[in-house]
A and B are shown apart, each in its own frame.
Chain A
Amino acid sequence: MSNEATLHSKEVVHGAHAHDGHDDHEHHEGGFISKYVFSMDHKTIAKQFLITGIIWAIIGAFFSVLFRLQLGFPDATFPWLESILGHWAKGGRITPEAYYALVTMHGTILVFFVLTAGLSGTFSNLLIPLQVGARDMASPFMNCLSYWFFFMASVVMMSSLFVQTGPASGGWTSYPPLSALGDASIGSKIGMDLWLTSMALFVVSQLLGGLNYISTILNMRTKGMTMTKMPLTIWGFFFTAILGVLSFPVLLSGFILLLFDRHAGTSFYLSELFVAGKALSNEGGSAILYQHLFWFLGHPEVYIIILPAMGMVSEILAVNSRKPIFGYLAMVGSMFAIVILAFLVWAHHMFVTGLNPFLGAFFVLLTLLIAVPSAIKVFNWITTIWKGNLRFTPGMLFSIGFVSTFISGGLTGIWLGNSSIDIHLHDTYFVIAHFHIVMGVSAFFGTFAGVYHWFPKMFGRYMNNTISYIHFWVTLAGAYLIFWPMHYEGMAGMPRRYYDYSSWESFKQFADLNHFISIVVIVVFAAQLLFVFNFFYSIFKGRKVTETNPWNATTLEWTTPINPGHGNWVGEIPEVHRWPYDYSKNGKDFIPQTVPLSPEEEAEGSH
């Protein structure tokens, strides 16, 4: 039986040549197009997500370099800026409009296109079938569609960078009324429409992907792979997908209403406005309504970003400590708690919108509750590596870096979760520092850890270690050097999103600090280009993998051939007998999940 038939087709073929012709997409040995472009193999789709994500990451990070030039050197001019940005950088200085566009696109690209699609798109696709023991996703076709919707979203977003009035520039949250009124700023014209279109396509892509991830995990696990025998990576992807399918549609609702306000003259979000001295006819709308709808996704979104990283880090820490993960069920339970709480805290982004302080108190309480599962996870990661036999592979270093940044960024979350402190710190650099460390840098560390760790599975080669170590240390030191000082700026009240702080007496004192931060940004950006070079160079020229299980790991993906074909396993899918964390057990370094329990283990009632 061909693989495709085993996957989902129950159609009985009549006639001698039913196998040629139109249905050759079901035969992946076919041409270049069906193998590399419209592929339905989850591993190829994962690589497509990863490489698209890397391209977006370079663009998004480069934008931050550009606006950091403005923030760090507000008086300087860079003639080369004019040659690449044209009238957006007249005289070599970024214009305010360009600055807002860059800030907005930096946020949109990194939050959605890199850390949502690039991160969970890559690793959910790669690891779910490989680690649960499935031939492919529940619906390979929908999986393929998911990538191509993401691709279309990318094309639309990219094209918005080139329209005459520029891309959306009302911030990555696109709050109305600014985003709803084309006359309010040039960034709210066609660029905003393209942004909304692109995001709608993006939501569709995420839903198609998420459906597949959930349905594959729940239905297509191999024999013996009970839910509690799944690696924590899979739990991470599972909870991520649940968050996605439940919260992205609400965001879409918010966007649909916004589109109607923009083009059909409705007043969902608009009321009693004056633009350029003219009174608008819109009456009775509420801009806060959008914020509720947006943050109902927006808050789960940060967990959509961090949960896959948490799962992968748990796995990589255990593998490279040669120790079982500490508190497996506590890890799963805390992820579950995070998922539940994710839906109940959105209004902590809205403490200063005139939210009833009594209501705010509940959101404070629920927000602070998130510290409990987060602390459990941190404790378990540290106890996992405690007295372990640590192997400092690049993946391991980035995982340890993840724990570090997650702690230092998470702690400031406790400050911000208190409404009374938030009123002072809201929309300051303290918030920037907090979410960049806990969500941006940590999620990137998780991604890097995943790329370094599973690169041998993806491409059958290793990445260069020396470059990886340089990449790690520069990135770790750089992340702290960039974001640590921002806490002080924020405590002093320095607001985010301002174009030039030099005209404020209170913030002039930070000129040198901003200068310093911008230089570090450039260095860190260069280190990321080193990673990109290493990645692409190693795909073609990296040291070849010679054994199927290079990290001596227990999980199923390492039981496949070095370069697995579509269908992953030749012959039978292996059966699972034990949990994935049998390291340093009974005098053995590791016992793969496929090894049956020994009589002694049966007796003691092992995992």
Chain B
Amino acid sequence: MQAMSLQRNKIHPHKYSLWIAMGSITMMFIGFTSAYVVKRSQANWYTFQLPMIFWISTAIIVASSVTIQMSVMQFRNRHMQRYKQLITLTAILGVAFAVCQWIGFKQMNDQGLPLNGPASVSFIYVIVSVHLLHVLGGVVALLVMFARAFRTRVRTYSPVPIEVAATYWHFVDALWIYLLIFLSIAR
């Protein structure tokens, strides 16, 4: 087993897998949004205003994309202290995003738009919460990265994990912006 040759890799396979996974997640949301479009074209479609706080959460998640990109740069320059601070900040922003979405749900509920209301309302709850699950998945990944950064016995020099995490993070960010625009226009 010791005498094996190096595996030839063109692009890091984990990064490649991530791109395919993002394609797959995109298909899931295409499924939701096409269901939304089909449903919308049918009778009795109920229209309403999205809660304003969704725009605040958008600002938060865009900011978190900036911080994670900065953390990648710090990692490459081996500024580990800054790197740790930045991924912690990113994770906190991710949680803040989740809290904002939750407040948005509460506001909708209080305005008489509960989950089991008209289908147009239910769709918002389902689509937004499935997206939120993907963001929280990213937060968990950042916590793992955080734990790894504090390991002393095994040190990581490969930027691949943080790059993979950052790409995913930008992806859920872009996905949210797409969803928000879609849900605002196709009301």
Separation of A99 and B63 alpha carbons in the complex (Å): 57
Which residues 556-589 of A sit at the B interface, judged by CB distance below 8 A?
A: 565-567, 569-573
Partner-contacting stretch, out of B53-61, B82-90, B151-159, B168-176: B151-159
- Residues in B with CB closer than 8 Å to A199 are none
Tally of chain A residues near chain B (CB < 8 A): 65
Interface residue stretch chosen among A3-11, A43-51, A438-446, A595-603: A3-11
Most B Cβ at <10 Å: residue of A1, A6, A253, A265: A253
B7 partner residues in chain A, CB cutoff 8 A: 6-7, 134-135, 220, 573
* Whole-angstrom CA separation of A267 from B9 in the bound complex: 49
The yes or no answer to A256 lying at the interface (CB within 8 A) is: yes
Q: Among B116, B119, B122, B157, which residue has the most Cβ atoms of chain A within 10 A?
A: B119
| CB-defined contacts of B1 to chain A, threshold 8 Å | 2-3, 565-567
A211 touches B44 (CB 8 A): no
Would you give the shortest CB distance from B119 to chain A, in whole angstroms? 6
CA distance A3 to B118 in the complex (A): 56
> Which chain B residues border A247 with CB–CB below 8 Å?
27
Nearest CB in chain A to that of B5: its residue: A572
Determine the chain A residues whose CB is within 8 A of the CB of B156 once the complex forms.
10-12
Partner of B122, one of A8, A219, A266, A565: A266
B4 touches A10 (CB 8 A): no
Give complex CA distance A6, B8 in Å. 9
Looking at B16-24, B95-103, B105-113, the stretch in contact with chain A turns out to be B16-24
Contact A253 B28, beta carbon cutoff 8 Å: yes
Q: In this assembly, does B52 line the interface, its C-beta being within 8 Å of a C-beta of chain A?
A: no
A11 and B158 form a contact (CB under 8 A): yes
A213 CB to closest chain B CB (Å) equals 10
B30 and A250 within 8 A (CB): yes
**Chain A neighbourhood of B42, CB < 8 A:** 284, 286
- Bound-complex Cα distance A573 to B3 (A): 11
Structural contact, A289 and B38, CB atoms closer than 8 A = yes
C-alpha gap A286/B44 in the complex (Å): 12
On whether the beta carbons of A207 and B126 are closer than 8 Å, the reply is no
Are the C-beta atoms of B122 and A15 separated by less than 8 Å? no
Closest to A250 in B: B31
Bound together, the chains give a CA A493 to CA B11 distance in angstroms of: 56
B17 touches which of A10, A212, A260 (Cβ 8 Å) = A212
Is there a chain A Cβ closer than 8 Å to B25's Cβ?
yes
On whether the beta carbons of A215 and B155 are closer than 8 Å, the reply is no
A142 interface hit (Cβ, 8 Å): yes
CA distance A222 to B160 in the complex (A): 22
Q: Which of A135, A219, A222, A285 contacts B16 (CB 8 A)?
A: A219
Closest CB in chain B relative to A210 CB, distance in Å: 8
B35 surroundings in chain A (CB, below 8 A): 253-254, 257, 268, 289, 292-293
Question: Are A296 and B20 within 8 A (Cβ)?
Answer: no
- Is the Cβ of B119 less than 8 Å from the Cβ of A284? yes
Contacts of B5 in A (CB 8 A): 6, 571-573
Q: Is the CB of B28 within 8 A of A219?
A: no
Collect the chain B residues with CB atoms within 8 Å of residue A246's CB: 23-24, 27
Instruction: Provide the bound-state CA to CA distance between A222 and B10, in Å.
Output: 11
CB atoms of B28 and A250 under 8 A apart: yes
Q: B2 interface residue, CB < 8 Å from A?
A: yes
What residue of chain A has the Cβ atom nearest to residue B44's Cβ?
A284
Question: Which of A6, A142, A223, A252 has a CB less than 8 Å from the CB of B28?
Answer: A252
Contacts of B2 in A (CB 8 A): 1-2
B115 engages A264 (CB within 8 Å): yes
B130 at the interface (CB under 8 A from A): yes
CB of A214 closer than 8 Å to a CB of B: yes
Known contacts A219-B10, A223-B8, A253-B35; is A139 also within 8 Å of B154 by CB? Answer: no
Q: A340 contacts the other chain (Cβ, under 8 Å)?
A: no
In the complex, A216 has a CB within 8 A of chain B: yes
The answer, yes or no, to whether A91 is at the interface (CB within 8 Å) is no
Q: How far is the CB of A318 from chain B (nearest CB, A)?
A: 27
When the two chains form their complex, are residues B126 and A571 in contact, meaning their CB atoms are under 8 A apart?
no
Q: Is A69's CB within 8 Å of the partner chain B?
A: no
Q: Is B39 an interface residue (CB 8 A)?
A: yes
Contact flag A139-B118 (CB < 8 Å), given A7-B7, A15-B153, A292-B38: no
Chain B residue numbers with a CB within 8 Å of A293 are 31, 35
Give the docked Cα–Cα distance between A7 and B14 (Å).
Answer: 11
Least CB distance from A566 to B in Å reads 8
B146 at the interface (CB under 8 A from A): no
Give complex CA distance A567, B155 in Å: 26
Cα A250 to Cα B28 in complex, Å, equals 5
Indicate if the CB atoms of B28 and A249 lie closer than 8 Å: yes
Complex contact A245–B28 (CB within 8 A): no
Closest chain-A Cβ to B59's Cβ sits at a distance in Å of 28
Complex: how many Å from CA A283 to CA B43?
11
Q: Contact: A249 with B27, CB < 8 Å?
A: yes
Kindly list the 10 A-B residue pairs having the minimum CB-CB distance in the complex, ordered from nearest. Answer: A265-B116, A138-B13, A253-B31, A249-B28, A10-B158, A250-B31, A266-B122, A215-B16, A245-B24, A249-B27
- Which residues of chain B come closer than 8 Å to A266, judged between CB atoms? 115-116, 119, 122, 126
Question: Contact partner of A18 among B3, B13, B119, B153, CB < 8 A?
Answer: B153
Distance in angstroms from A391 CB to nearest chain B CB is 34
Closest Cβ of chain B: how far from A242's Cβ, in Å? 9
Residues of B within 8 A of A387 (CB): none
Contacting residues of chain A (229-258) with chain B, CB-CB under 8 angstroms: 245-254, 256-257
**What are the residues of chain A within 8 A of B43 when measuring CB–CB?**
284
Of all chain B residues, the one with the shortest Cβ separation from A138 is B13
Expressed in whole angstroms, the Cα–Cα distance for A511 and B75 within the complex equals 75
Q: Are B44 and A142 in contact (CB under 8 A)?
A: no
Contacts of A286 in B (CB 8 A): 38-39, 42
How far is it, in angstroms, between the C-alpha of A134 and the C-alpha of B2 when the chains are bound? 16
The reply on A14 being an interface residue by CB < 8 A is yes
Residue B185, interface by CB 8 Å? no
15 A–B contacts, CB within 8 A, in A order: A11-B158, A12-B157, A13-B154, A15-B153, A135-B4, A135-B7, A215-B16, A222-B8, A256-B130, A266-B116, A266-B126, A267-B122, A285-B119, A286-B39, A569-B4
- Choose from A3, A248, A267, A571 the contact partner of B119 (Cβ within 8 Å): A267
